A and B are shown apart, each in its own frame.
Chain A
Amino acid sequence: GQQVMQIPQYQHVQEGEDFTTYCNSSTTLSNIQWYKQRPGGHPVFLIQLVKSGEVKKQKRLTFQFGEAKKNSSLHITATQTTDVGTYFCAGRANYGQNFVFGPGTRLSVLP
């Protein structure tokens, strides 16, 4: 079945440093979503990417969908302590199928 992997599993950064997490799928995806989960909280939807090579920005966050639609990345510029949490990607091979979540990347930001 479809598998979604994320690297790294953990990332510790100093406040102000940049951070990137990568999401890789075993199959070509129709669309991919990104979620953020604060410690002790629930996942919150961030964005969806649909087109090959698509790049979307939300303030300091930049999301990219690979040309082959099998990978994606989330880049945070100049991290802040409010960025702490686990970032999940979720992808699906076709519309109508359920999304498969990756295991997440846990980000800690040292002040």
Chain B
Amino acid sequence: NAGVTQTPKFRILKIGQSMTLQCAQDMNHNYMYWYRQDPGMGLKLIYYSVGAGITDKGEVPNGYNVSRSTTEDFPLRLELAAPSQTSVYFCASSYSDRGEGYTFGSGTRLTVV
């Protein structure tokens, strides 16, 4: 099993550009999450999904969109990138919400200039 795979690992965007961060898991996990991590600030939840076709906002959803058309994939879309979106983005998954722990991907380091 590859676990949670994120692409790309690094990306530099210009202000106003758009991009999609890809996330795929092969563990048949129902729950998937997108977090952003800013230095010294911990992890902030952007969006999450409890299953295919179901998504919901987290703590910091503004400027982002998601979709969940399959169990495996959970892409994060950035529209009109802004410098405030410079961060490290982590995708995570879990089989349920009973607290068995999240499996995180290796992250995407995004810089908006």
Interface residues of A in 33-68 (CB under 8 A from B): 33, 35, 41-45, 48, 50
- Asked, given contacts A88-B42, A98-B45, A103-B41, whether A42 binds B100 with beta carbons under 8 Å apart, the answer is no
Specify the chain A residue showing the minimal Cβ separation from B107: A42
Contact A103 B102 (CB under 8 A): no
Chain A residues within an 8 Å CB radius of B48 = 98
Interface residues of A in 17-45 (CB under 8 A from B): 31, 33, 35, 41-45
A85 touches B (CB below 8 Å): no
Count chain B residues whose beta carbon lies closer than 8 angstroms to a beta carbon of A.
Answer: 23
Report the separation of the CA atoms of residues A43 and B58 in the bound assembly, to the nearest whole angstrom: 19
Chain B residues within an 8 Å CB radius of A50 = 99
Report the separation of the CA atoms of residues A43 and B42 in the bound assembly, to the nearest whole angstrom: 10
B74 touches A (CB below 8 Å): no
Q: Which of B44, B99, B103 has the most CB of A within 10 A?
A: B99
B residues within 8 Å of A by Cβ? 33, 35, 40-45, 48, 58, 90, 92, 97-107
What are 8 A-B residue pairs whose CB atoms fall within 8 Å in the complex?
Answer: A42-B104, A42-B105, A43-B43, A43-B90, A88-B42, A98-B45, A98-B48, A101-B35
